[in-house]
């Protein structure tokens, strides 16, 4: 009997380890050109242990701060954030401890990223990063000027319906992780003025540049097309 228990325990440990390794591999950045993370004549790129930032060399008045999804590498969102910077806005991706936004969502405040009160601050997040972005606004209502939620059903456990700042939620019709039904159920947690953008054919994984996510559905549009819609929606909302 003890031998069988040991065998079963070994099987479960092996299964758990394989599952963890699959997640780590699947959520790695894919399809991102190395040049995206290099400075050029227009954008200064800084890549540290805490952030990846894209700063327009001609100056800027607005700062776009991004929270990655859980377990997703920060540079999976670098192409999007670079394009935002190329349109004249400083763009910062926050690197979360252990890639878990639940433990790092206060990093922008701890790093004094809001110290310049002449700037406008836009906070965005994907999936669990969107949840923590919403939570940050809930806990710090005067620090953020606009909130953007990407591929997330949140806020779910707290209420932002009285928030005075503009909020936009972008979601995909083929998203198997943050599905449309759950998003609609949580609409009362956001202000009536919230702007909703539905990406027809878009899924969860294509909000970034990484592999297939557990529970997601297949997209019926390309990653490039979904990224283009996301970028244009964000730029319109920021302006």
Residue found under tokens 């906070």:
123
- Taking Cα atoms as reference points, which of 123, 122, 180, 189 lies closest to residue 151? 180
Can you read off the two tokens belonging to residue 132? 């923590």
Residues 6+ apart with CB under 8 A from 12: none
Residue that wins the pLDDT comparison between 212 and 113: 113
Q: What is the mean pLDDT of the chain?
A: 92
Alpha carbons 108 and 220: distance in angstroms, whole number = 35
Question: For the chain, what are the domain ranges?
Answer: 2-31+39-238
Q: What are 222's two structure tokens? A: 């390309």
The DSSP annotation for 85-128 comes to HHTT-EEEEEPPGGG-HHHHTTHHHHTTTT--TTSEEEEEEETH
Please give the CATH number for the structural domain made up of 2-31+39-238. Answer: 3.40.50.1820
**Which tokens belong to 187?**
């609409």
Is 76 in contact with 227 (CB distance < 8 Å)? no
Strands 120-126 and 167-172: unpaired
Q: Is the pLDDT of residue 161 over 80?
A: yes
Tokens found for residue 59: 């100056």
Q: What is the pTM of this model?
A: 0.90
Structure tokens at 96: 């979360």
Summarize the confidence of residues 191-216 as an average pLDDT: 96
> For the segment 44-100, what is each residue's pLDDT rounded down to a tens digit?
999 999 999 999 999 999 999 999 999 999 999 999 999 999 999 999 999 999 989
Q: What is the reported pLDDT for 189? A: 97
Measured CA to CA, the distance from residue 5 to residue 83 in angstroms comes to 54
What are residue 126's phi and psi, to 5 degrees?
-110, 135
Q: Where are the beta strands (DSSP E) in the chain?
A: 43-47, 51-56, 62-67, 90-94, 120-126, 146-150, 167-172, 195-199
Residue 207 tokens read as 């909000």
* SS3 annotation, 26-47: HCCECCCCHHHHCCCCCEEEEE
Q: What is the pLDDT of residues 48-63, one digit of tens each?
A: 999 999 999 999 999 9
pLDDT (average), residues 183-203: 97
């Amino acid at each position: 009997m003890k031998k069988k228990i040991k065998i079963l325990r070994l099987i479960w440990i092996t299964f758990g380890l394989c599952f963890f390794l699959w997640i780590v591999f699947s959520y790695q950045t894919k399809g991102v050109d190395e040049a995206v993370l290099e400075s050029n004549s227009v954008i200064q790129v800084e890549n540290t242990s805490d952030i990846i930032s894209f700063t327009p060399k001609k100056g800027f008045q607005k700062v776009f701060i991004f929270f990655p999804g859980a377990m997703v590498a920060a540079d999976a969102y670098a192409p999007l954030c670079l394009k935002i910077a190329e349109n004249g806005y400083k763009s910062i991706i926050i690197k979360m401890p252990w890639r878990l936004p639940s433990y790092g969502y206060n990093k922008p405040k701890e790093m004094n990223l809001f110290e310049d009160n002449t700037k406008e601050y836009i906070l965005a997040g994907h999936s669990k990063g969107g949840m923590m972005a919403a939570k940050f606004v809930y806990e710090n209502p005067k620090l953020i000027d606009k909130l953007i939620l990407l591929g997330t059903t949140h806020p779910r456990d707290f209420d932002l319906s009285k928030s005075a700042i503009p909020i936009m939620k972008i979601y995909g019709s083929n998203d198997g992780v943050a599905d449309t039904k759950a998003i609609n159920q949580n609409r009362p947690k956001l202000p009536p003025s919230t702007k909703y953008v539905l990406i027809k054919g878009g899924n969860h994984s294509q909000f970034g540049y990484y592999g297939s996510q557990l529970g997601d559905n297949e997209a019926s549009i390309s990653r490039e097309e979904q990224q283009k819609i996301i970028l244009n929606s964000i730029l319109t909302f920021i302006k």
